[in-house]
């Protein structure tokens, strides 16, 4: 049984305030509170400032990594001031820090200021081949694991370190935490990966090329990798490490961009001795050219293969999970799941932070569920995209601005409780709490002891006649026909300006994006969509099945499953599934979604995710399709064949309120987010008259019909 936990709300907060006001100050152990989002009496903000510097740390092969160190300063506590601190490490390809080109300031992120005030040192390291570091790397290069271990070992040996290291960061910087953990550095005690991608087959979720995201992210990564001052997104460049002319100004160590195009690697020769002397904005000569040497090394592949930090170029040709990558010959599974047994053996305590609207949320839950019981593992799922959620979307799912601020603070508190437990050894009980903390829109936060949630009833809703979704098995079979509409897009809100991406692509030498207008959605990971994900208009291009208005509230928490029985006039095709909540006024809002290429219908044991099947049970038991070349049938529908497509939607939490309806919406394209099926639209253009536009038949009925299964969970009865 999962234990119940009251919604974090004004009542709980007020209780703590009242208790403290009554004189139970932080000095009284009886006043201590440690529960989700509330943490009093264990760990105070006793430092008011910090001391900071940058330096190089040399790897065994001579490559220098750029490192920023910030130590707590301005101690205000009662005890003797510490001189050695537990350390939180960020290990990143996106810039260990960034400067404001207008002011020259290099700010410390607010969350790290919070941890500095709590007595944690902060170290941020540029991965080799990025930022202010030397060297060269591939995308998701296993080699970064070795440098990461070196960095942790180096930290543990510093006089300002107490020998306990944790890690922080999101996305790639979350991935890097698992990567370093797999090397089992002795000092690494806890990691907190946020919205971390894990599945190495990142370019083709569901087997379909993720065109717009890979294109945009690639432009960003490529620019950052070359420390370009021209960025497709507003991420300023990484500052140099060494003030070579000693004038106190670090930014004048960046050479002049001679042709003014924002890139440096095109202005100078490599090795530098082969070209003209680098010029600097202050006209002072330098001898070492630290920053420029780094940039030139990032851009120069040691094997003569240019640009493998260009994700589009790397991932687009990777059609199958066992395809070899260009340049380095890696296969996607070599990147991640292959190290998973080493992560398990590391003993590191993992706090996974997930977002219901983030593309990596399935991986986050797979990692947690597979680690649970083998490592200290905890997961928190918020209603968030890759980078938060807009106030308008939050409001539409029952989160007001006060809630939003409280939850943001709460997530920070949860990280503090984790670091305090595992880096400072404070027995705050977080390791004994139910390990799943999940927000269910319209209902509230839930604390659960397991994933899948104890008491889940996987409940079938059948595709029935009249475009209805029925809780009871249909009496008669039938079929519905749907002519694919390649113009369907899952994006919403105001158009997104992609001119900077067009310019970045041009600089890289790639063709322009396939679409001249983008809209934001889950795949647009740089900024969350400004508006709620209403699908009312998009559903006009879809085949939809909708329940009657619900007679009671229905709570789901888990992985919805789709079982589609279909045939098609084309040999293969793609399906896009959207689970929606339809309000009494007809407005449909997206709950969750996923996509699947029918040719990958054959199901595989998910334990095969880990190469060599080392006997680890990958959980939860979700449909998985292998995605290797041998798993693909390009003629899955040929000759009138019927195929059963079974796939899990992104996991989610949601409460469908009484009077609302549940809808499954199905389309055959989501352009330009996903590439159109190359056998149906070789040009990936919806309007190309040469496209093959299939008519799809969906089969209904009790025995061999289509249905969706929802993970319905009980009302915890705590009044939320
Ligand atoms: Ca200088
Ligand atoms: Ca240039
Ligand atoms: Ca399994």
Three-class SS string for 420-458?
Answer: HHHHCCCCCCHHHCCCEEEEECCCEEEEECCCCCCCCEE
Q: Which of 297-306, 435-444, 689-698 shows the lowest per-residue confidence on average (mean pLDDT)?
A: 297-306
**Dist. CA 245 → ligand 2 center (Å):** 23
Query: Where residue 305 falls among pLDDT bands split at 50, 70, 90?
Result: low
**Dist. CA 673 → ligand 3 center (Å):** 30
Tell whether 552 is covered by a domain: yes
Residue 131: φ, ψ to 5°: 55, -130
Provide the pLDDT for residue 72.
97
**How many domains, the chain?**
3
pLDDT in tens, 563-595: 999 999 999 999 999 999 999 999 999 999 999
pLDDT average, residue stretch 536-564: 98
Query: Where residue 6 falls among pLDDT bands split at 50, 70, 90?
Result: very low
Query: Where residue 2 falls among pLDDT bands split at 50, 70, 90?
Result: very low
Read out DSSP for 623-674? -B---SGGG--TTTTGGG--EEEEEEPPPEEEEEPTT-EEEEEEES--TTTS
Tell whether 369 is covered by a domain: yes
**Does residue 48 sit in helix, strand or coil?**
strand
Q: Residue 624 CA: which ligand is closest?
A: 3
Provide the pLDDT for residue 229.
57
Tell whether 703 is covered by a domain: yes
Query: Where residue 15 falls among pLDDT bands split at 50, 70, 90?
Result: very low
**37 and 181 together in one domain:** no
**226 and 337 together in one domain:** yes
Provide the pLDDT for residue 432.
97
Query: Where residue 653 falls among pLDDT bands split at 50, 70, 90?
Result: very high
**Dist. CA 370 → ligand 3 center (Å):** 9
pLDDT in tens, 202-235: 899 999 999 998 988 888 888 777 776 555 555 6
**Dist. CA 228 → ligand 2 center (Å):** 9
Q: Which of 258-272, 337-351, 553-567 shows the lowest per-residue confidence on average (mean pLDDT)?
A: 258-272
* pLDDT exceeds cutoff 50 at 12: no
**579 and 677 together in one domain:** yes
**Dist. CA 59 → ligand 1 center (Å):** 25
**65 and 94 together in one domain:** yes
Q: Is the pTM of this model over 0.85?
A: yes
**584 and 554 together in one domain:** yes
**Does residue 707 sit in helix, strand or coil?**
strand
Q: Which residues are bridge partners to 87 per DSSP?
A: 121, 165
188-194 and 349-355 beta bridge pairing? parallel
**Dist. CA 251 → ligand 1 center (Å):** 7
- Tell me, what CATH number does 86's domain have? 3.40.50.1820
Query: Where residue 391 falls among pLDDT bands split at 50, 70, 90?
Result: very high
**Dist. CA 462 → ligand 1 center (Å):** 68
> CA–CA separation, 185 vs 141, rounded Å?
18
**Dist. CA 137 → ligand 2 center (Å):** 22
Q: Residue 605 CA: which ligand is closest?
A: 3
Provide the pLDDT for residue 302.
65
pLDDT in tens, 242-272: 999 999 999 899 999 898 877 888 899 999 9
Q: Which of 94-103, 521-530, 532-541, 659-668 shows the lowest per-residue confidence on average (mean pLDDT)?
A: 94-103
Cβ atoms within 10 Å, residue 390 = 18
Q: Residue 247 CA: which ligand is closest?
A: 1
Is-contact 224 130, C-beta < 8 A?
yes
Tell whether 569 is covered by a domain: yes
Query: Where residue 18 falls among pLDDT bands split at 50, 70, 90?
Result: very low
Provide the pLDDT for residue 228.
67
Query: Where residue 30 falls among pLDDT bands split at 50, 70, 90?
Result: low
Query: Where residue 511 falls among pLDDT bands split at 50, 70, 90?
Result: confident
* Residue-number span of the structural domain to which 29 is assigned: 7-41
| Residue pointed to by tokens 């005690």 | 189
Q: Residue 248 CA: which ligand is closest?
A: 1
Cβ atoms within 10 Å, residue 108 = 16
Provide the pLDDT for residue 306.
53
Query: Where residue 299 falls among pLDDT bands split at 50, 70, 90?
Result: confident
Provide the pLDDT for residue 20.
37
**345 and 306 together in one domain:** yes
Q: Residue 250 CA: which ligand is closest?
A: 1
**Dist. CA 235 → ligand 1 center (Å):** 22
Q: Which of 267-281, 430-444, 449-463, 505-519 shows the lowest per-residue confidence on average (mean pLDDT)?
A: 505-519
Residue 401 burial by CB count (10 A; 0-12/13-18/19+): exposed, middle or buried? exposed
Provide the pLDDT for residue 375.
96
Read out DSSP for 572-630? --EEEEEEEEE-TTS-EEEEEEEEEETT----B-GGGGSTT--S---SS---B---SGG
Query: Where residue 25 falls among pLDDT bands split at 50, 70, 90?
Result: very low
Tell whether 629 is covered by a domain: no
Q: How far is CA 205 from CA 9, 635, 648, in A?
A: 37, 20, 12
**Dist. CA 411 → ligand 1 center (Å):** 39
pLDDT average, residue stretch 309-328: 85
pLDDT in tens, 64-102: 999 999 999 999 998 888 899 999 999 999 899 988 877
**Dist. CA 607 → ligand 3 center (Å):** 5
- For residues 674, 678, 682, 686, the Cα torsion angle rounded to the nearest 10 degrees is -40
pLDDT in tens, 615-646: 999 999 999 999 999 999 999 999 999 999 99
pLDDT in tens, 137-153: 888 887 889 999 999 99
**667 and 540 together in one domain:** yes
Mean pLDDT of the chain: 91
Tell whether 33 is covered by a domain: yes
**403 and 379 together in one domain:** yes
**Dist. CA 264 → ligand 2 center (Å):** 5
**210 and 352 together in one domain:** yes
pLDDT average, residue stretch 601-610: 95
**Dist. CA 242 → ligand 1 center (Å):** 8
**215 and 262 together in one domain:** yes
Give me 56's structure tokens.
């190089």
**540 and 462 together in one domain:** yes
- DSSP letter assigned to residue 90: E
Query: Where residue 10 falls among pLDDT bands split at 50, 70, 90?
Result: very low
Tell whether 1 is covered by a domain: no
Tell whether 605 is covered by a domain: no
**114 and 137 together in one domain:** yes
Provide the pLDDT for residue 329.
73
496 membership: H or E segment, kind and range: strand 492-496
Provide the pLDDT for residue 221.
80
Residues near ion ligand 2 (Cβ under 5 Å): 257, 259, 261, 263, 266-267
Q: How far is CA 264 from CA 65, 216, 612, 662, 706, in A?
A: 20, 21, 44, 54, 56
């Amino acid at each position: 049984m999962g234990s119940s936990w009251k919604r974090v709300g004004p009542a709980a907060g007020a209780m703590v305030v009242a208790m403290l006001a009554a004189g139970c100050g932080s000095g009284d152990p009886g006043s201590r509170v440690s529960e989700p989002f509330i943490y009093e009496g264990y760990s105070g903000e006793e430092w008011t400032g910090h001391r900071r510097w940058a330096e190089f740390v040399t790897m065994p092969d001579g490559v220098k990594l750029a490192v920023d160190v910030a130590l707590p300063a301005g101690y205000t506590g009662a005890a003797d001031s510490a001189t050695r601190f537990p350390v939180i490490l960020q290990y990143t390809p996106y810039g260990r820090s960034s400067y404001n080109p207008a002011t020259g300031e290099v700010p410390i992120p607010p969350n790290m200021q919070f941890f500095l005030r709590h007595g944690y040192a902060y170290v941020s390291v540029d991965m080799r081949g990025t930022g202010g570091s030397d060297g060269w790397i591939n995308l998701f290069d296993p080699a970064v694991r070795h440098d990461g271990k070196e960095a942790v070992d180096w930290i543990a040996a510093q006089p300002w370190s107490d020998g306990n290291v944790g890690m922080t960061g999101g996305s790639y910087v979350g991935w890097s935490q698992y990567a370093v953990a797999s090397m089992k550095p002795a000092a690494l005690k806890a990691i907190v990966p946020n919205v971390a991608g894990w599945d190495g087959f990142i370019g083709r979720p569901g087997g379909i090329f993720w065109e717009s995201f890979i294109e945009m992210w690639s432009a960003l990564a490529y620019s950052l990798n070359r420390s370009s001052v021209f960025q497709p997104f507003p991420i300023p460049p990484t500052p140099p490490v060494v003030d070579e002319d000693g004038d106190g100004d670090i930014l004048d160590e960046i050479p002049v961009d001679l042709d003014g195009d924002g890139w440096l690697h095109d202005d100078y020769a490599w090795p530098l001795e082969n070209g003209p002397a680098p010029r600097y904005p202050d006209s002072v000569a330098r001898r070492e050219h630290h920053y420029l040497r780094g940039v030139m090394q990032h851009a120069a592949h040691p094997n003569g293969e240019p640009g493998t930090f260009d994700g589009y170029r790397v991932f687009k040709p990777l059609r199958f999970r066992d395809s070899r990558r260009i340049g380095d010959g890696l296969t996607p599974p070599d990147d991640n799941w292959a190290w998973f047994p080493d992560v398990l053996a590391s003993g590191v305590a993992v706090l996974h932070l997930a977002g219901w609207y983030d593309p990596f949320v399935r991986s986050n839950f797979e990692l947690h569920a597979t680690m649970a019981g083998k490592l200290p593992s905890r997961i928190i799922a918020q209603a968030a995209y890759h980078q938060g959620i807009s106030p308008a979307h939050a409001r539409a799912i029952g989160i007001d601005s006060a809630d939003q601020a409280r939850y943001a603070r709460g997530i920070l508190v949860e990280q503090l409780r984790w670091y305090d437990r595992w880096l400072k050894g404070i027995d705050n009980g977080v390791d004994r709490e139910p390990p799943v903390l999940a927000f269910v829109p319209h209902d509230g936060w839930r604390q659960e002891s397991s994933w899948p949630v104890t008491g889940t009833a996987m409940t079938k809703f059948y595709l029935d006649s009249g475009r209805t979704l029925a809780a009871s098995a249909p009496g008669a079979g039938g079929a519905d026909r749907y002519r694919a509409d390649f113009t369907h897009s899952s994006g919403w809100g105001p158009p997104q300006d992609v001119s900077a991406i067009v310019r970045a692509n041009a600089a890289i030498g790639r063709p322009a994006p396939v679409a001249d207008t983008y809209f934001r959605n889950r795949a647009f990971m740089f900024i969350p969509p400004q508006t709620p994900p209403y699908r009312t208009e998009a559903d006009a291009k879809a085949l939809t099945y909708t329940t009657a208005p619900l007679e009671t509230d229905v709570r789901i928490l888990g992985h919805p499953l789709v079982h589609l029985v279909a045939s098609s006039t084309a040999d293969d095709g793609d399906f896009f599934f959207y689970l929606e909540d339809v309000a009494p006024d007809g407005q449909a809002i997206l709950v969750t979604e996923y996509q699947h290429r029918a040719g990958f219908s054959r199901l595989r044991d998910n334990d095969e995710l880990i190469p060599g099947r080392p006997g680890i049970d990958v959980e939860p038991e979700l449909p998985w399709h292998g995605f290797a070349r041998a798993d693909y049938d390009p003629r899955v529908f040929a000759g009138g064949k019927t195929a059963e497509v079974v796939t899990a939607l992104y996991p989610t939490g949601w409460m469908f309120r009484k009077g609302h309806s549940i809808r499954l919406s199905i389309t055959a394209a989501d352009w330009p987010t996903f590439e159109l099926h190359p056998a149906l639209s070789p040009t990936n253009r919806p309007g190309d008259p040469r496209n093959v536009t299939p008519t799809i038949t969906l089969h209904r009925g009790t025995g061999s019909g289509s249905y969706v299964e929802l993970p319905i969970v009980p009302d915890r009865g705590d009044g939320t």
